[in-house]
Amino acid sequence: MEHTGDEFKNRSLWHRSGYAINGILAGLAREGSLRLELAVAAATLLLLLWLKPPAMWWAIAVLIIAAVLAAELINSAIEALADHLHPTLHAEIRVVKDMAAGAILVLNVAALVVLLLLLTTAWR
């Protein structure tokens, strides 16, 4: 059954949040990279619990973790939509998917740099 956007607009925040949770669960079910990034995020949070850094490091870590996971969900959504609309490989769709994957790479490198900076300050 197809839905129009109008039937979702006036629902409660609680109800609409269910759609978001469904999207996260679908991403976890479909995307191994999202599951891996979630595992790395959990390990990072455990590391923070162990190191007990100042609150600023927690804020930075939570923001970068959220950015990586959100970008991965957006990347997965772009890929799913592109594959649905154009199942055969098309040069422009490949470029769009590559750019979205590039955004994930940029964020993952930034997350790694943040982690390394955290570790270097923790062991001074």
Q: Is the pLDDT score of 18 beyond 80?
A: yes
Judge residue 14's burial from the number of C-beta atoms within 10 Å of its C-beta, 0-12 exposed, 13-18 middle, 19 or more buried: exposed
Domain range summary for the chain, segments of one domain joined by +: 31-122
Q: What is the pLDDT of residues 61-101, one digit of tens each?
A: 999 999 999 999 999 999 999 999 988 888 999 999 999 99
Question: To the nearest whole number, what is the mean pLDDT of the chain?
Answer: 91
Mean pLDDT is lowest, of 12-16, 45-49, 69-73, for 12-16
**The domain 31-122: what is its CATH number?**
1.10.287.3610
Predicted structure pTM score: 0.85
- So what's the pLDDT on residue 79? 92
pLDDT tier, 35 (very low <50, low <70, confident <90, very high otherwise)? very high
CA distances from 83 to 28, 80, 92, 107, 114 (A): 18, 5, 12, 24, 34
Mean pLDDT is lowest, of 10-14, 27-31, 107-111, for 10-14
Q: Is the pLDDT score of 29 beyond 90?
A: yes
